[in-house]
A = this chain, B = another copy of it.
């Protein structure tokens, strides 16, 4: 009894799960990057803003750990956001090795606008499938990725 499609019943490389996952991610990221362009940030910046907007001010390292990126990568990312007036960095009085990173007023406004644009881009990407399928997709991916 066949209970599911065999993993590789076809030679079409576009039907391989790895290809589908990768290109779904690429297409969604491209849509989000385009949607965020008016706010002068990209999807990686948005990830950092999202963490900062939903947290008490924390150190660069904490944000980097949450995002799963290296602390040296975090430095470059924040350099750009600071230059744009979206975040500020100042030494933590309690431990002056740490930088406390905070959104500026402009940064928080940027985040709110970006959050809305991000949601619209996601909805656009998901437009071809039903709300039920969207929920199912999220549940399945969460199970597979298992953070």
Contact = CB atoms under 8 A, between A and B. Distances in A.
Nearest to A5: B135
Interface in A6-36: 6-8, 11, 13-25, 27-29, 32
A104 interface: no
Q: Is the interface of A mostly helix, strand, loop or mixed?
A: helix
Given A5-B138, A18-B29, A51-B11, A144 B128 contact: yes
A123 B17 CA distance: 11
B13 A50 contact: yes
A21 B18 contact: no
Interface string A36-59: 000000010001001101110000
Contact of A53 (B11, B24, B138, B142): B11
Quickly give the copy total for this chain.
Answer: 2
B143 A129 contact: yes
A24 to B, nearest CB: 5
A24 B141 contact: yes
Interface in A123-147: 123, 125-126, 128-129, 131-138, 140-147
14 contacts: A4-B135, A11-B55, A13-B51, A13-B67, A16-B47, A16-B50, A17-B28, A17-B122, A18-B28, A20-B138, A20-B142, A21-B21, A21-B25, A137-B140
